[in-house]
Amino acid sequence: MKLVLLVLLAVLSFGLWVRLAPSDPARWHVAVGDAGNRDFPGAVIRSIPAGPGDMSRLDRIIRDTPRTAVLAGTPEEGLVTYITRSRLWGFPDYTTVEARAGMIVIHGRLRFGGSDLGVNRARVEGWIAALASGRS
């Protein structure tokens, strides 16, 4: 019985820690740096051509994503970082979107763990597809 209570307390503590750990904009809200299209364990970078208004349209698409909020920045500044939390545990993923000359660079990455099983790549590519379908 004590072991079950200890395991339950450990799981509950872990869940609270993941949900309540502060998100420091100084760490997460930074320019993407390297452009291109790259996949990493737990992260993705995508660069897409951008037309007038695309940064604001992409911002609306991202803000409409469930469990997603702005950490820092605005489309007008050309740099926005979002937090999207997983449904069950509330794991935070950070996505920074940066406007560059004629391009938008998107960097999605996890905070905890070593792999996200492709979640960030799928989310970012879904946003890009939604942006592209709105242009047509």
pLDDT band at 10 (very low <50, low <70, confident <90, very high): confident
**Could you tell me if 29 and 79 are in contact, meaning their C-beta atoms sit under 8 angstroms apart?**
yes
The gap from C-alpha 112 to its chain's centroid, in whole angstroms, comes to 13
pLDDT band at 136 (very low <50, low <70, confident <90, very high): very low
CATH of segment(s) 23-135 = 3.30.310
Which sign does the torsion angle of CA 110, 84, 103, 80 carry? Answer: negative
Which sign does the torsion angle of CA 30, 35, 39, 45 carry? Answer: positive
Among 7-11, 50-54, 83-87, where is mean pLDDT lowest?
7-11
Predicted TM-score (pTM) of this structure: 0.89
Alpha-carbon distance of 96 to 101, in angstroms, equals 16
pLDDT, mean of residues 102-130: 94
